[in-house]
Amino acid sequence: MDTKTLKKETNKTQITERISGSEAIIKCLLAEGVDVLYGYPGGAIMPVYDELYKYQDKIHHVLTRHEQGATHSAQGYARISGKVGVAIATSGPGATNLITGIADAQIDSTPMVCITGQVASHLLGSDAFQETDIVGISTPVTKWNCQITKASEIPEVMAKAFYIAKSGRPGPVLIDITKDAQFEEFDFKYKKCKGVRSYNAIPKLNHNEVEAAAKLINEAKKPMIVWGQGVSLGQAETEFKAVVEKAGIPSAWTILGAGAIPTSHPLNIGMVGMHGNYAPNVLTNECDLLIAIGMRFDDRVTGNLSTYAKQAKVIHFEIDPAEIDKNVKTDVAVLGDAKESLAALLPLLDEKSYPEWHQNFKDLYAIEYEKVIKNDIHPTKEGLTMGEVLKEINSQTKGDAAIVTDVGQHQMIACRYANFNKTRSNITSGGLGTMGFGLPAAIGAKMAAPNREVISISGDGGYQMTIQELGTIFQQKVPVKIVVLNNEFLGMVRQWQQLFFDKRYASTEMTNPDFVAIAKGYFIEAEKVTKREDLKEAVAKMINTDGPYFLEVCVEKEDNVFPMIPTGASVSDVRLE
């Protein structure tokens, strides 16, 4: 056998080594490029933690203060980086505490792998201490899950988990590993997964559909684009911007789509949805062609489906066949990866500008500015508004910061008034609407993008749901900036109570602790602002501080977020007051 042949034969042979299942898990993570994971130890996962201790120089484990915090941190890490986030927990309550974050990742298409320990295989089904059927519990909220009972199953299952989590439309995967499988030794070798039988991650692009879409776009008189997170998930920002600019089409975004093209781009007409901008909501029901790209026609975007864009033809660019015609009937569906689909579309488009159609958006924006925006960012009232806080943060970060929000009024205000100059800059809980998401997600985002300014913005309600993660920030020395907009209410619920329940503020008024004292208890610099004249200096101090910083801003108690589409109303019935 010559040297060349010998080299080929050697390359074909994978080297095996006899190791424990728990060490195999660590080696699988390393093979997938994992350098940080978030978790909380316990009895059923202790063998893995014991091996993790030996690999501290290769994988950084972040001890969160709650397992839910681990999943949200893994989400923040994944959302800003595009990599797979990893969370790890023990059995029973440790595993069930992951469920909220897993469900959030599922509906927001976030790639995440969760690893849970489980009781020994001979105890399964016996109601052993801290035994919970986490596979059964997580099945509705995972892209895939699997229980491992033998160490030899670990490499193949782990490889499959990472492939499924990040391929096609991303999502969360859960792997449950019994304790005996963690101790058991076997001959380990690892091979990355490149495909799964019966799982078609990316549909093959049908060029006839692309041509049909281009024909409709070229013939349209009043086209409008609504794009979602699928553009950034597909890393298609460059192709998308080229399509928008060549076709000259006014383009609006869902909250998860923000940043694919900068907020300041002349063809960016703002946000659609319940608290979106006036013009794109109203004119959805006046366009003659609606082009949906990487979005799923969520009910918060469409309002009453029976009146949504009925006058328009609809083109849907989408990677997941299950989303086609699920909520809105399409005239042309282009299945495939956004990057490939938009690249194929671009050369088929005519160059256009639609000046009269664009003027309609400008006219309606002027109305919104006078009735809503001006009062939000240049208020005449004595108390601070959430809008002017966001305006000041924008001014001092020049729109380059990653904004990580919780859920509520502050979330909608942040989406409306933050400038997103870069992709993957609006990190928020979209579909599930998880209060408590913001603080731990900001930890993961900052660790994944240490050179970016990462600002967590929460309300006083959601902040207290995961406030314990200040301990993670302190221990890990994560230089994240934390802003709490404190109105002493569960603001979004209070707004609904005011508008639709005759101001019966049932269980929404908050009696809050001393937030500054709590932050300082975790050795985090902190300040409280109550007056407008102190805001600018306080934000500057926060931005210029090297380490983590907490800023509480007391805002008007009963400010509302407008525009607003009442539940069940048409998008064209959006209210400005």
Q: Please tell me the distance from the alpha carbon of residue 290 to that of residue 470, in angstroms, as a whole number.
A: 44
From the list 247, 252, 217, 167, the residue with the least C-alpha distance to 334 is 217
- What distance lies between CA 13 and its chain's CA centroid? 41
Contact partners, residue 533, CB within 8 Å, separation at least 6: none
Bridge partners, 459 (sequence order): 485
Measured over all CA atoms, what is the biggest interatomic distance in the chain, rounded to whole angstroms? 88
Q: Please tell me the distance from the alpha carbon of residue 160 to that of residue 155, in angstroms, as a whole number.
A: 9
From the list 58, 59, 63, the residue with the least C-alpha distance to 38 is 63
From the list 182, 189, 145, the residue with the least C-alpha distance to 49 is 182
Residue 492 annotated as catalytic: yes
Q: Looking at 295, 492, 510, 564, which residue is catalytic?
A: 492
Residue 564 annotated as catalytic: no
Q: Please tell me the distance from the alpha carbon of residue 27 to that of residue 29, in angstroms, as a whole number.
A: 5
Tokens, residue 124: 């399964």
Q: Looking at 179, 222, 313, 422, which residue is catalytic?
A: 179
Q: Please tell me the distance from the alpha carbon of residue 382 to that of residue 106, in angstroms, as a whole number.
A: 42
Q: Looking at 129, 183, 500, 501, which residue is catalytic?
A: 129
| CA-based torsion, 233, 236, 240, 243: positive or negative | negative
Ranges of H-type helices in 220-321: 230-233, 237-247, 278-284, 299-302
Tokens, residue 255: 């909250």
Tokens, residue 458: 């929460």
Provide the 8-state DSSP code for 57: T
Residue 510 annotated as catalytic: no
What is the DSSP secondary-structure string of 348-385?
Answer: GPPP---HHHHHHHHHHHHHHIIIIIHHHHS--SSS--
The H or E element containing residue 485 is strand 481-486
Burial class (CB in 10 A: 0-12, 13-18, 19+), 281: buried
Edge-to-edge, what's the strand order for the sheet holding 144-148?
Answer: 60-63, 36-39, 85-89, 112-118, 172-178, 144-148
Q: Looking at 23, 32, 51, 67, which residue is catalytic?
A: 67
Tokens, residue 159: 């490889």
Residue 1 annotated as catalytic: no
Residue 185 annotated as catalytic: no
Tokens, residue 247: 């076709």
Catalytic positions: 67, 129-130, 179, 492
